[in-house]
Structure 1
Amino acid sequence: MDEWVIWVILAVVLGVAELFTFTAALGLLGAAALLTAATAALGLPVPLQLLFFAAASAAGLLVVRPLALRHVKQPQLQRFGVEALVGKPAYTVSEVTGREGRIRVGGEEWSARAYDETLVIPAGATVDIIEIEGATALVYPRE
């Protein structure tokens, strides 16, 4: 069997293994094996093929993989939904106690409770949203 066929088989095996691991390491090794298959098809001797495979693998694992992982692990730049309300200022539409109340934030009216259950926040006061529980905002008065 020709050497290039063995390299292609190795590339396919590594590619399939990558589908089960999602580490990018086996995929890069498979790509290196595929490139080595091309060098084998050109007629390079086996020791040079192994040297080329080692160099291509090292380049992939040391250069390409960290770049790929950096793009995959980027933090979420913007919060969405109710997570975006936490930390925002609002003002009270009605008196807010530890049991009930209403606030207006971003043009929407929300049910609210005081974060500290002993507080009574008068209507018209500015508050900060500390947490969202279901459809109720837990607020604390702004000093």
Structure 2
Amino acid sequence: MAALIWLVAGLLLAAAEALTGDLFLLMLAGGALATAGVSALTDFPVWADAIVFAFVSATMLVTVRPVLLRRMSSRPALAMNADALSGKHALVLEEVGEHAGQVKLDGDVWTARPLDVTEVYPPGTTVTVMKIDGATAVVWKGP
């Protein structure tokens, strides 16, 4: 009977974790489920079950939770918007010089200027976008 109580407590704690997302209740749920297993296999008194619950829960809080929190919070940064365009290739539509030019980049037409202001790229040239400066693509033909 005690094993069933610990099992229900573990399931309720796991369900409550879905509302918080803090991983604290999930560690307590793990302790309750481990205690349910110990209680089902042994004939320990309730106070011994409580010690098993406290030990397993504390161990999980100290060892497992920090690892999970670190793993969940360290997502790789994804380049978004204009930052995602750096490094892409573009096709020169109008001659790109120090003060004027247009390139086709990912299906869109962008104003462009060369990275080296002394260079000029004729139409049809494939260039690499080095950065986006406002609404202007700074491009480079490369070696």
Same fold (TM over 0.5): yes
- Of stretches 7-16 and 67-76 in structure 1, the one that deviates more from structure 2 is 67-76
Aligned partners of 1:111, 1:132: CA distance in 2, in Å?
15
Alignment match, 2:54: 54
Amino acid aligned to 1:122: V
Shift of 1:70: 2.7
Tell me if structure 2 keeps the 8 A contact 1:114–1:120. no
TM-score w.r.t. structure 2 length? 0.65
Report the 3-state secondary structure (helix = DSSP H, G, I; strand = E; otherwise coil) of the residue aligned with 2:94: coil
Amino acid aligned to 1:36: T
CA deviation vs aligned residue, 1:65-111 (integer Å, no higher than 9, x gap)? 222223323332765897542255767453247775125x7xx7752
TM-score w.r.t. structure 1 length? 0.65
CA deviation vs aligned residue, 1:114-135 (integer Å, no higher than 9, x gap)? 47xxx897324966442398xx
Report the 3-state secondary structure (helix = DSSP H, G, I; strand = E; otherwise coil) of the residue aligned with 2:120: coil
Cα gap change, 1:19/1:91 in structure 2, threshold over 3 Å: closer, same or farther? Answer: same
CA deviation vs aligned residue, 1:36-81 (integer Å, no higher than 9, x gap)? 1222231112222111111111111111122222332333276589
Cα gap change, 1:132/1:76 in structure 2, threshold over 3 Å: closer, same or farther? Answer: farther
Amino acid aligned to 2:138: Y
Matched, 1:38 2:24: no
Amino acid aligned to 1:35: A
Cα gap change, 1:26/1:61 in structure 2, threshold over 3 Å: closer, same or farther? Answer: same
Q: Which runs of 4+ in 1 moved over 6 A?
A: none
Aligned partners of 2:33, 2:96: CA distance in 1, in Å?
67
Aligned partners of 1:111, 1:121: CA distance in 2, in Å?
20
Matched, 1:71 2:71: yes
What percent identity do the matched residue pairs reach? Answer: 26
Alignment match, 2:25: 26
Measured on the aligned residues, the alpha-carbon RMSD in Å equals 3.8
Q: Which runs of 5+ in 1 are unaligned?
A: none
Cα gap change, 1:96/1:120 in structure 2, threshold over 3 Å: closer, same or farther? Answer: farther
Tell me if structure 2 keeps the 8 A contact 1:101–1:113. yes
Cα gap change, 1:9/1:35 in structure 2, threshold over 3 Å: closer, same or farther? Answer: same
Alignment match, 1:131: 132
Q: Which runs of 5+ in 2 are unaligned?
A: none
Shift of 1:6: 2.1
Report the 3-state secondary structure (helix = DSSP H, G, I; strand = E; otherwise coil) of the residue aligned with 1:112: strand
Report matched runs for 1:100-139 at 5 Å. Answer: 101-102=102-103, 111-114=109-112, 122-124=120-122, 128-131=129-132, 138-139=136-137
